[in-house]
Amino acid sequence: MNIEFSPYTFARVSVMKSTLLKKIHYDRMLKMKISEITKFLEEMGYSKEINEFGIELEGADLIETAISRNLGSTLEKLYNISNDEMKIVMSKYLGRKDIWNVKTIIRGKYSGLEPHEIRKLIVPVGLIKKNKIESLIQLESVEDVLRNIDIIDIKLFKPAIDYYDTTNSLLMIENTLDQFYFADLIEFLKSVPESISLFRDFLLMEIDILNIKNMIKLKRAKQSEKQIKAQLFYCGLKLNKKILDKLLKAKDINGLIGMLADGPYKKIIEPFYKEKINLLDLEVAMDNYLLSKARFMPHVSPLSVNGLLGYMFAKEIEIKNIHMIVRAKQLDIGEKFIVEHLIA
């Protein structure tokens, strides 16, 4: 596969990159009310989506729907301006949006949300057609959704459905969806050229982070070493088979965190081991660490495909930051918390 970055694509991406929010913009948003943030985002490139949904939504719901739709249209635009080889790379990445949307629908059914409430959380981009997504939203139950996904054989979900029926937990269902996506991605990464090695290494690091999160969740769920091992990927960037097998021997979560704090991702995990372990904060820290690595991709060989892929990640970071600011404002969470969790 020979992936080239055309001058036309570079010019378009450069313009799009110039519109990304900067630290000074986030600092201003921290001082605003939600209504003021809405008006500010209208001026910063989100006016089309805010005007489109402003008739039926308001406040945080309006902002979250607008930024989700904006992300979808941005990724679609990147796909459309890419050459055929680059589209193959992007389609592999966009496949995760299908998984995200299926998880969103499943969580909605699990929580008893109405179709219109689920619909506003959907990212309108991916390989699953929009009419198929809509048909899934209209189904009654979690199992109905799994039986009608089409891209995944229902037989793959049997252990996960049995676990769900027994525990009323979506854990294994969501892990099965991740496994389906990453198994396909791993095969693809074996053939990518050196020109997108940064992208490849980022995705392999993502597999490391996914393995860590899964081990913590499954250990907390009291699953056996054999059960946990079956849900790991032995192909990440830094966590090789020897390290993963050693981590599987941990007796409990504290032991696992302690071993992780002495491993390749010590910088992220050690602070949580020294204090009282907050697993939610640890998960957020791992996600933020991963995205912070993606921030630098556009600055390394900006004239290569890394420029496009880096912009794609930077846009996702922007959406994550806006979402976090708005939700924190809605829940009346202090500015200090927001600043600590911003990726800027």
How large is the average pLDDT for residues 77-89? 86
Q: Map residue 95 onto helix, strand or coil.
A: helix
Cα 153 off chain centre by: 23
pLDDT digits (tens, 9 = 90+) for 19-34: 999 999 999 999 999 9
> Which of 179, 161, 170 minimizes the C-alpha distance to 103?
170
Q: How many CB atoms lie within 10 A of CB 78?
A: 24
Per-residue pLDDT for 274 more than 70? no
Share of the chain above pLDDT 70, in %: 94
Distance from C-alpha of 136 to C-alpha of 128, rounded to nearest angstrom: 11
- Residue 273 banded pLDDT, cuts 50, 70, 90: confident
Q: Specify the pLDDT at position 147.
A: 93
How large is the average pLDDT for residues 90-96? 88
In b/e form, how buried is each residue of 35-64, taking b as 16+ CB within 10 angstroms? eebbeebbeeebeebbeebeeebeebbbbb
Residue 147 tokens, joined: 């039986």
Residue, of 165 and 199, whose pLDDT is higher: 165
Per-residue pLDDT for 240 more than 90? yes
Residue 149 tokens, joined: 């996904």
Distance from C-alpha of 218 to C-alpha of 222, rounded to nearest angstrom: 6
- Residue 7 banded pLDDT, cuts 50, 70, 90: confident
Per-residue pLDDT for 8 more than 90? no
Q: What secondary structure letter does DSSP report for 126?
A: S
pLDDT, averaged across the chain: 88
Q: Specify the pLDDT at position 144.
A: 95
Q: HSE-up of 288 (CA within 13 Å, CB side)?
A: 18
Distance from C-alpha of 79 to C-alpha of 92, rounded to nearest angstrom: 11
Q: What secondary structure letter does DSSP report for 195?
A: G
CB 174 within 8 A of CB 102: no
- Residue 200 banded pLDDT, cuts 50, 70, 90: confident
Q: HSE-up of 29 (CA within 13 Å, CB side)?
A: 30
The verdict on pTM exceeding 0.95 is no
Residue 25 tokens, joined: 């913009």
- Residue 301 banded pLDDT, cuts 50, 70, 90: low
Distance from C-alpha of 186 to C-alpha of 264, rounded to nearest angstrom: 21
Q: How many CB atoms lie within 10 A of CB 171?
A: 18
Which segment, 4-8, 209-213, 274-278, is predicted with the most confidence on average?
209-213
Q: Specify the pLDDT at position 5.
A: 61
Q: Directed axis angle between helix 279-294 and helix 197-220, to 10°?
A: 180
How large is the average pLDDT for residues 307-317? 84
